[in-house]
Homo-oligomer: A and B are copies of this chain.
Amino acid sequence: MGNNLDSVRQHNLSTILTLVHHAGSIPRAQLTRRTGLNRSTIAALVGELVDLRLVTESSGETTSQVGRPSSVVQTNPDTVAIAVNPEVDAVTVGVVGLGGVVQNRIRFPTEKPPTVREAVNITSAIIAGIQGGLQTETRIVGIGIAVPGLVCQSNGLVRLAPHLGWKDEPLTEMLADATGYPTSAGNDASLGARAERTFGAGRGIDDMIYLNGGASGVGGGVISSGVALGGTSGYAGELGHTRVRSDGRADSAGVRGTFESEVTRLALLEVLGLSSADTDELEQALFAAKSLAVRSEVNRQLDFLGIALGGAINILNPRLIILGGFLGSLYALDPERLHKVVAHEALPVSWNDVTISRPKLGADLLMVGAAELAFSPLLADPAGLSAQKAGRVPDKSSQESERTALNGSR
């Protein structure tokens, strides 16, 4: 069980770096108020973060108020994470700086869904290319992968990614070996939830559900009390397999009557007579369509969406539900209908708390989410991880020896 020793310092550094990371840039005086720490302490802590090259301090641009203007603390754009997102038809790799700024994004299309080996090779190659173009000052703290499937938290194994055809693949380990960077992976929707909560529509919201409707099905991520809901192995949030009717079509797991089997992008395309379309095109087509068949299919899907949301609301009591992908389009077509269904399914007191909205982050969503995964060890222990280049969780011996050395020199 955990407790404190001189890890006070670690905790405070973590708190401050996290605040700066979330805000992008924030006055030092603000840090004083938000943390409740003394000005002198903030000065010392920020100084250390500057020494660690994690943040920079500039004296300009404060809100004009009475008194001496506060110096502004900003994230250091030299500290970056690599974000990776393998998909059915492409592998996307991005460079994301502290503060959630996507500096670079490269989408590498593939003819077929990539194998794990291919995904690793493509990613390694792109990273090698990126490294060549980077400033020598730039430091990569690690790699985060957003996987469209179930990833085991404890060992990093991709247990199942049906649309990629992956099963029990050691993706994390392979990419770490290939690149030498500390690597971690997570479910794409869970990371999307994290991104929206930190930088998007869910800023400051502690209890929310993010649902994304994509070509390959429905993914979900839950934030509860400000923390991503993981479960024992990190598989939590799979709302797509919620039962919404007794019978019906089969979903990707072969089960009938689930949310994911009834509410699909494909069914919308079919009724529209389209063979393919991206999310924006689909939404435009849906809004333009006057046909009764389209309307009826939209309503049918909205009703099932409402049933799934109602169940989730009863279990999770969220304040916010963010609907991404074509789920957001469905919602935009007829918010009232969805509200009505949910109101019927969910307990009134719980439904009362809920706001439904669409995501704020666009194409960068998964890049930002995956980068969060890579940043999290650094945010949790800024001094410990900046010390060594690799950035793995520091083992006690190395920390000890470092501290002993410091003591000796004084």
Please give the residue numbers on chain A whose beta carbons come within 8 Å of chain B beta carbons, in ascending order: 1-5, 8, 11-12, 15, 19, 34-37, 150, 152, 159-160, 206-207, 220, 222, 224-225, 227, 229-239, 241-247, 253, 255, 307, 310-312, 314-319, 344-347, 349-350, 353
Q: From known contacts A15-B1, A37-B3, infer whether A317 and B243 are also in contact, taking CB-CB under 8 Å.
A: no
Cβ–Cβ contact B350 & A35, under 8 A = no
Look across to chain B and name the residue whose beta carbon is closest to the beta carbon of A15. Answer: B3
Q: Bound complex: CA of A310 vs CA of B257, how far in Å?
A: 13
| Residues of chain B contacted by A350 (CB below 8 angstroms) | 150, 231, 233, 235, 238
- Min distance, Cβ A370 to any Cβ of chain B, angstroms: 20
| Residues of chain B contacted by A353 (CB below 8 angstroms) | 231-233, 235
Q: A230-B317, A231-B350, A238-B347 are in contact. List 14 more A-B contacts (CB 8 A).
A: A1-B15, A207-B231, A220-B315, A224-B236, A231-B316, A232-B353, A233-B349, A236-B316, A238-B315, A239-B315, A241-B347, A243-B307, A243-B311, A246-B247
Cβ–Cβ contact B315 & A312, under 8 A = yes
| Residues of chain B contacted by A4 (CB below 8 angstroms) | 4, 8, 11-12
Cβ–Cβ contact B1 & A238, under 8 A = no
Within 8 Å by CB of A344, from B5, B255, B344, lies B255
Cβ–Cβ contact B314 & A239, under 8 A = yes
Cβ–Cβ contact A232 & B206, under 8 A = yes
- Min distance, Cβ A182 to any Cβ of chain B, angstroms: 22
| Residues of chain B contacted by A236 (CB below 8 angstroms) | 224, 315-317
Q: From known contacts A233-B349, A318-B232, A347-B235, infer whether A243 and B241 are also in contact, taking CB-CB under 8 Å.
A: no
Chain copies in the assembled complex: 2
Within 8 Å by CB of A3, from B36, B255, B311, B314, lies B36
Q: Bound complex: CA of A220 vs CA of B11, how far in Å?
A: 35
Cβ–Cβ contact B1 & A35, under 8 A = yes
Within 8 Å by CB of A232, from B234, B319, B346, lies B319
Cβ–Cβ contact A150 & B349, under 8 A = yes
Within 8 Å by CB of A235, from B206, B230, B317, lies B317
| Residues of chain B contacted by A255 (CB below 8 angstroms) | 344-345
- Min distance, Cβ A159 to any Cβ of chain B, angstroms: 5
- Min distance, Cβ A402 to any Cβ of chain B, angstroms: 17
Q: Bound complex: CA of A314 vs CA of B319, how far in Å?
A: 21
Look across to chain B and name the residue whose beta carbon is closest to the beta carbon of A206. Answer: B232
Q: Which of A233, A307, A312, A349 neighbours the largest number of chain B CB atoms within 10 Å of its CB?
A: A349
- Min distance, Cβ A124 to any Cβ of chain B, angstroms: 27
| Residues of chain B contacted by A227 (CB below 8 angstroms) | 225
| Residues of chain B contacted by A5 (CB below 8 angstroms) | 8, 36-37
Cβ–Cβ contact B310 & A243, under 8 A = yes
Q: Bound complex: CA of A152 vs CA of B348, how far in Å?
A: 13
| Residues of chain B contacted by A242 (CB below 8 angstroms) | 311, 314-315
- Min distance, Cβ A393 to any Cβ of chain B, angstroms: 16
Q: Bound complex: CA of A312 vs CA of B222, how far in Å?
A: 13
| Residues of chain B contacted by A152 (CB below 8 angstroms) | 349
- Min distance, Cβ A4 to any Cβ of chain B, angstroms: 4
- Min distance, Cβ A40 to any Cβ of chain B, angstroms: 12
Q: Bound complex: CA of A242 vs CA of B236, how far in Å?
A: 17
| Residues of chain B contacted by A315 (CB below 8 angstroms) | 220, 222, 236-239, 242, 312, 315-316
| Residues of chain B contacted by A345 (CB below 8 angstroms) | 241, 243, 255
| Residues of chain B contacted by A150 (CB below 8 angstroms) | 347, 349-350
Q: Bound complex: CA of A334 vs CA of B314, how far in Å?
A: 28
Q: Which of A317, A345, A350 neighbours the largest number of chain B CB atoms within 10 Å of its CB?
A: A317
Look across to chain B and name the residue whose beta carbon is closest to the beta carbon of A159. Answer: B349
